[in-house]
């Protein structure tokens, strides 16, 4: 599909930089290259050219790359200009290129949107591409690149193929039901496969929390009585004075967060208000927030001053809890009562604690290579798929036609995930996640 407009954008990062890459896609690409570079270049081979503005003056010397459609990222003619990464250079290039009739600035994600519309990528792959561009940790990169290569799509398309096959079998059975020689066991096989698929989809949906941990981070929440040394530990993990530390109980009132990269896994550590009875108004709000945060955590660190233990009361959370004795340097207290012992004063136990957190975060994201749903959108459509399958199975007394229709609806939901069926309504939401130039 050729769209009327050609689009251009700065596709590389913030300027100034060593090099800026300006990318153009669409029917005007060839003409723009010929005009600016003083002649056409060979496809897919970098050419060093003098790049000129509309008045013939030199903008810069740069590399020109031309990718003739349909074998390009977008499926249209695409070109890239690699110029010196100064703001004025990139600015003049963009000004010159948008000066051509039929060429305009690209909207966020518009290159990828064209790639999708031209069948170069499916919807899940475009989402994975957005994740790849945004990946900050090694785990995020691994997850995104595998999905951009189609691992997740292949799973959904495989299920969809099985359902289409199942429906064909059922419909064949309906058509031939008057004839004597159609074995009834065909539909038994079909329904047992549908049943198996419900289990597979459920297990896959269960992996969504893992995908959330990969993307949003493994949530570690530090709780404990006032003055237990929470903010001191928080600062030690953050390696800066992120939280105020005083000897006054009730110093921290709000949630404070730092994001760490522990061996390639994103970990969010939250410092909280000390838990105690009958605090003032502000502190009470802080304590409620602390409790809520602990409930939603992936790991709770319950700190206690070993020298002067104060009971913090019960901490409710489904997450594993590590009891940590603090202020070990004071040399008092029962060391046996804790899972770990630390001192932010002399650094004792901090490295071990950090590796324990890293170990648990790595375990939480499981094996690299697990295929997980990467968006809530996927989970919602998968749940609908499952519901249709379940009702197809449960309608044992009903006619086969109705049950075949449920299979069709289920396959349709899977098709919506990858964008194989009409998804026009989803596109604006999905492509707005991209940056300009992608």
Ligand X SMILES: Nc1nc2c(ncn2[C@@H]2O[C@H](COP(=O)(O)OP(=O)(O)OP(=O)(O)O)[C@@H](O)[C@H]2O)c(=O)[nH]1
Query: Residue numbers of the site for ligand X (CB under 6 A)?
Result: 224, 226-232, 245-247, 249-252, 273-274, 326-327, 329-330, 343-345
What is the closest distance, in whole angstroms, from the C-beta atom of residue 262 to ligand X in the complex?
21
What is the closest distance, in whole angstroms, from the C-beta atom of residue 130 to Mg ion in the complex?
37
Three-state DSSP string of the chain: CCCCCEEEEECCCCCCEEEEEEEEECCCHHHHHHHHCCCCCCECCCEEEEEECCCCCEEEEEEEEEECCCCCCCCCCEEEEEEEECHHHHHHHHHHHHCCCCEEECCCCHHHHHHHHCCCCCHHHHHHHHHHHHCCCHHHHHHHHHHHCCHHHHHHHHHHHHHHHHHHHHHHHHHCCCCCCCCCHHHHHHHHHHHHHHHHHHHHHHCHHHHHHHHHCEEEEEEECCCCCHHHHHHHHHCCCCCCCCCCCCCCCCCEEEEEEECCEEEEEEECCCCCCCCCHHHHHHHHHHHHHHHCCCEEEEEEECCCCCCCCCCCCCCCEEEEEECHHHCCCCHHHCCEECCCCCCCCHHHHHHHHHHHHHHHCCCCCCCCCCCHHHHHHHHHHHHHHHHHHHCCCCCHHHHHHHHHHHHHHHHHHHCCCCCHHHHHHHHCCCCCCC
Binding mask 241-260 for Mg ion (x = CB under 5 A): ----------xx--------
> Of all residues in this chain, which one has the CB nearest to ligand X in the complex?
274
Among ligand X, Mg ion, none, residue 12 binds (CB under 5-8 Å by kind): none
Among ligand X, Mg ion, none, residue 140 binds (CB under 5-8 Å by kind): none
What is the closest distance, in whole angstroms, from the C-beta atom of residue 290 to ligand X in the complex?
9
Comparing CB distances to Mg ion, the nearer of 231 and 343 is 231
What is the closest distance, in whole angstroms, from the C-beta atom of residue 261 to ligand X in the complex?
24
Among Mg ion, ligand X, none, residue 249 binds (CB under 5-8 Å by kind): ligand X
What is the closest distance, in whole angstroms, from the C-beta atom of residue 266 to ligand X in the complex?
24
- The encoded tokens of residue 68 equal 């003739």
What is the closest distance, in whole angstroms, from the C-beta atom of residue 389 to Mg ion in the complex?
50
Among Mg ion, ligand X, none, residue 27 binds (CB under 5-8 Å by kind): none
Comparing CB distances to Mg ion, the nearer of 324 and 414 is 324
Q: Looking at 77-85, 104-112, 224-232, 427-435, which segment touches Mg ion (CB under 5 A)? A: 224-232
Comparing CB distances to ligand X, the nearer of 258 and 273 is 273
Residue 232 binds to Mg ion (criterion: CB under 5 A): no
371-390: which residues touch Mg ion (CB under 5 A)?
Answer: none
Beta strand 340-341 pairing with 321-326: parallel
What is the closest distance, in whole angstroms, from the C-beta atom of residue 285 to ligand X in the complex?
14
What is the closest distance, in whole angstroms, from the C-beta atom of residue 221 to ligand X in the complex?
13
Comparing CB distances to Mg ion, the nearer of 256 and 364 is 256
Binding residues for Mg ion, total number by CB under 5 A: 4
Among Mg ion, ligand X, none, residue 5 binds (CB under 5-8 Å by kind): none
Among Mg ion, ligand X, none, residue 228 binds (CB under 5-8 Å by kind): ligand X
Residue 231 binds to Mg ion (criterion: CB under 5 A): yes
Residue 326 binds to Mg ion (criterion: CB under 5 A): no
Binding site for Mg ion (CB under 5 A): 230-231, 251-252
């Amino acid at each position: 599909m050729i769209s009327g407009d050609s689009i251009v954008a700065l596709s590389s990062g913030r300027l100034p930089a060593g090099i800026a890459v300006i990318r153009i896609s669409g029917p005007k690409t060839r003409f723009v290259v010929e005009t600016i570079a003083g002649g056409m270049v060979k496809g897919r081979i970098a050419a060093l050219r003098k790049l000129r503005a509309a008045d013939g003056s030199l903008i810069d010397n740069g590399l020109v790359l031309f990718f003739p459609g349909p074998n390009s990222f977008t499926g249209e003619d695409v070109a890239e200009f690699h110029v010196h990464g100064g703001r004025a250079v990139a600015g003049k290039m963009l000004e010159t290129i948008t000066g051509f009739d039929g060429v305009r600035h690209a909207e966020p994600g518009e290159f990828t949107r064209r790639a999708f519309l031209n069948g170069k990528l499916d919807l899940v792959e475009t989402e994975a591409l957005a994740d790849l561009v945004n990946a900050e940790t090694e785990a995020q990169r691994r997850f995104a690149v595998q999905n951009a290569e189609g691992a997740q799509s292949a799973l959904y398309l495989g299920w969809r193929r099985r359902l289409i096959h199942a429906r064909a079998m059922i419909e064949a059975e309906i058509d031939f039901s008057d004839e004597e020689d159609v074995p009834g066991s065909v539909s038994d096989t079909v329904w047992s496969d549908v049943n198996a698929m419900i289990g597979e989809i459920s297990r896959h949906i269960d992996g969504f929390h893992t995908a959330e941990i990969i993307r949003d981070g493994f949530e570690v929440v530090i709780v404990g009585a006032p003055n237990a040394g929470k903010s001191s530990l928080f600062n030690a993990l953050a390696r800066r004075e992120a939280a105020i530390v005083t000897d006054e109980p009730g110093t921290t009132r709000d949630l404070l967060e730092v994001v760490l990269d522990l061996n390639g896994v994103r970990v969010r550590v939250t410092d909280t208000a000390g838990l105690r009875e009958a605090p003032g108004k502000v502190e009470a709000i802080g304590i409620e927030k602390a409790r809520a945060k602990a409930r939603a955590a992936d790991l709770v660190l319950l700190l206690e001053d070993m020298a002067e233990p104060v009971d913090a009361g019960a901490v409710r959370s489904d997450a594993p809890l590590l009891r940590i004795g603090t202020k070990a340097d004071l040399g008092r207290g029962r060391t046996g009562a804790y899972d770990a012992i630390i001192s932010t004063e002399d650094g004792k136990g901090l490295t071990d604690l950090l590796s324990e957190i890293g170990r648990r975060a790595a375990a939480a994201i499981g094996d690299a290579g697990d295929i997980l749903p990467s968006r809530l959108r996927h989970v919602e459509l998968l749940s609908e798929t499952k519901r249709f399958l379940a009702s197809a199975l449960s309608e044992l007394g009903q006619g086969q036609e109705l049950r075949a229709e449920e299979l069709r609806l289920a396959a349709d939901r899977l098709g919506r995930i990858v964008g194989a069926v009409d998804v026009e309504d989803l596109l604006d939401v999905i492509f707005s996640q991209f940056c300009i130039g992608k």
